Structure 1
Amino acid sequence: MLTLATATWGSAFIAGKYAVVSFEPATVAFLRFLGAAIILFPIMWTVEKNRPKRTKKDYLLFAILGLTGIAIYNICFFLASKHAPVIKSSLFIAANPILIVLLSSIFLKEKLTKNHIIGMVIALTGVSFIITEGDFASLIQLGFEPIDLILLGAVISWALYSVVGKVVLAKFSSISSTTYAVGFGTLFLLPFAIYETSWADIQSASLTAWLSIGHMSVFVTVISFVMYYYGIKEVGAAKSSIFINVMPLSAVIMATIILGETFTLFHAIGATFVIIGVYVAMRVKKDKTNKGNRLSTKKIGA
């Protein structure tokens, strides 16, 4: 589920490229989540009629989720789609698991294991290999640019979103958490969309841009966000974050199929590293679960 969710996020890189041709970044983000909100709220009201009672603290946490993972992250993401070099923006996004792991260990007290850290490093190495095509020196040649601060903002905001999301999931389901986060995020994005977009922009937007926004609303947001949140609830924020490394990998594969870009040996090697890294990181939980089951069986037998 986590693999499918993060792989679908990879398509946002391609859809975003098409969308920002017709609209400014904040407007793309607003339209994306407005469409998602229109879908999510009826679903939540239908399937979760007995939702836990919301308190002021809950609404504050929902607002933080909307501000970090919906508003700030997506403004930064679409700005990067329009202005940042792919090699640099992809690496920044791929660095998300590192910060999530650190914040999870500090604030959520999630235990970090040796295999977990090794898996994270292996997966991140694979992503770096894909993006740089084996030429890691090219990162140094790019140097520091103002867009780097925006990319750093994307990384920090998504890490906060994942960690706070774990707290919210202790009381609410993945559907409710995602829906309220999207609702607040859409409200935060509205002023930016009004400021930078005119009615003429909406009328002149291409069909491709609208289809791209629709894809991001339904598949990238509604379906994938719910699956990712459910994954956080099941295995924790730190382990779930490892799967973010699948996102740039899927983006490369989709670019090969949709945009006709060449799938190189570097992509194949990097993909192998990503798969191995995710397996190693999740192997820890599997081993411990099997061990716990064996111990439980012995106790029951006794």
Structure 2
Amino acid sequence: MTAQPDPMRSDALGYGLAIAGAVLFSTKGIFIKLAFAEGVSTEATLALRMLVALPVYLVILLTLLRRQPQSRALLTPSRLIACMAVGILGYYVSSYLDFAGLAFVSAQYERLVLFTYPFFVLLFGVWFFGDRMNWALVPAMLITYAGLMVIFTWNLTVRPDGLLLGTALVLGSALTFAFYQHLARRQMVVVGTALFTCIGMSTAAVLAIGQSLVVDGPATYFAFSPYVWMLGLMLGVFGTVLPSFLLNSGIARIGARATASTASLGPIMTIVLAVLILGEEFTLFHAIGTALVLLGSALFARNDRRARGPST
């Protein structure tokens, strides 16, 4: 019988990486909202994020290929195309839908809607990737969506303009990101976390920057103030580069479903920052809705870990 690694030690590191990535990703909506307040378009805001991130990923990519010759052998044309396609789905399509949705809804609400992606990770795993359905997770899902409905109803009553479109866009981001997580792990198993992340993010960055140059025009960037560029820097480093590596490292160690179930600190951090920095409202309805969402997520994570067992 072969010796097995300590699952608790491995899981502790994997969960730690996933949680750190989720917390940093939670700052993204704040920086985006601040950029929107300066009149920056959705396309330009996404491009600013990628302009900062792209050089980092390219440098790391070239370093990996130079220091690890075996990595070049892994990147067959079909594998390279697959990594690029998955990166486009997770870092371009999902990101653009999320950025576009934030133009219509609050940062708090956006984060809570996006927070439903673990449920889609579960469902997609069952429908497309051969996972077994865990029906014990359904009550947790219902509790979470009940919380979203509380906040959605409040928004619909108080400020309904753009709410349905914004919700649909952010929900589309959650759907595409959930599907990305399953596809990403299959690529990372072959080429490694760092190499996949660099390829996927670099591809998405080129597309996002190209889209903005077509939509906004190159002259737009010369008119940006130093403050806007600072927001782009913060968004690129703390809202993109660091969390992307942390999250993908978590996926590689503990899997897509486990990683998706560790993000409960993200909405809390977003709510605190949104209230303190953006001046967003936090009413009794927000408190009740957020509590239900977090409760549902906690139950989902606990039941999911029990179903998978200590060795996964």
1:36 aligns with 2:56: no
Instruction: Write the mapping of 1:17-96 to structure 2, written as runs, cut at 5 A.
Output: 17-20=33-36, 21-46=38-63, 49-50=67-68, 52=71, 53-82=74-103, 84-86=104-106, 89=110, 92-96=113-117
State whether residues 8 and 220 of structure 1, in contact with CA within 8 Å, keep that contact through their aligned partners in structure 2.
Answer: yes
Q: Which one-letter code corresponds to 1:101 in the other structure?
A: L
1:253 aligns with 2:267: no
Query: How far did residue 209 of structure 1 move?
Result: 1.9
Corresponding residue number in structure 1 for 2:20: 4
Instruction: Write the mapping of 1:127-276 to structure 2, written as runs, cut at 5 A.
Output: 128-129=149-150, 131-132=151-152, 135=154, 138=157, 150-244=169-263, 246-261=265-280, 263-276=282-295
d(CA) in 2 for partners of 1:128 and 1:18? 26
Task: Encode CA deviations 1:2-34: one digit per residue, 9 max, x unaligned.
Answer: 233222222111111122334321222122123
Gaps of 5+ in 2: 1-16
- Structure 1 187/136 Cα, relative in aligned 2: closer, same or farther at 3 Å? closer
- Structure 1 47/187 Cα, relative in aligned 2: closer, same or farther at 3 Å? closer
State whether residues 23 and 197 of structure 1, in contact with CA within 8 Å, keep that contact through their aligned partners in structure 2.
Answer: no
Query: How far did residue 157 of structure 1 move?
Result: 2.5
TM-score by length of 2: 0.77
Percent of aligned positions that are identical: 19
- Structure 1 244/112 Cα, relative in aligned 2: closer, same or farther at 3 Å? farther
TM-score by length of 1: 0.79
Instruction: Write the mapping of 1:283-298 to structure 2, written as runs, cut at 5 A.
Output: 283-284=302-303, 286-287=305-306
d(CA) in 2 for partners of 1:262 and 1:244? 23
d(CA) in 2 for partners of 1:89 and 1:292? 34
d(CA) in 2 for partners of 1:278 and 1:25? 30
d(CA) in 1 for partners of 2:197 and 2:271? 27
State whether residues 49 and 232 of structure 2, in contact with CA within 8 Å, keep that contact through their aligned partners in structure 1.
Answer: yes
1:107 aligns with 2:128: yes
Gaps of 5+ in 1: 294-302
Query: Bigger CA drift: 12-21 or 119-128?
Result: 119-128
RMSD of aligned C-alpha atoms? 3.4
State whether residues 137 and 304 of structure 2, in contact with CA within 8 Å, keep that contact through their aligned partners in structure 1.
Answer: no
Describe the SS at the equivalent of 1:109: coil
Query: How far did residue 277 of structure 1 move?
Result: 3.5
Query: Bigger CA drift: 224-233 or 273-282?
Result: 273-282
Task: Encode CA deviations 1:119-166: one digit per residue, 9 max, x unaligned.
Answer: 44444444555x44x848749x77985556544542332223222112
State whether residues 45 and 232 of structure 2, in contact with CA within 8 Å, keep that contact through their aligned partners in structure 1.
Answer: yes
d(CA) in 1 for partners of 2:23 and 2:289? 15
Corresponding residue number in structure 1 for 2:3: none
Task: Encode CA deviations 1:19-61: one digit per residue, 9 max, x unaligned.
Answer: 2334321222122123212112323444673253201222222
d(CA) in 1 for partners of 2:177 and 2:47? 17
Task: Encode CA deviations 1:70-111: one digit per residue, 9 max, x unaligned.
Answer: 2222222222222x2338755643333332221122222233
Corresponding residue number in structure 2 for 1:300: none
Q: Which one-letter code corresponds to 1:107 in the other structure?
A: F
- Structure 1 65/31 Cα, relative in aligned 2: closer, same or farther at 3 Å? farther
d(CA) in 2 for partners of 1:172 and 1:217? 24
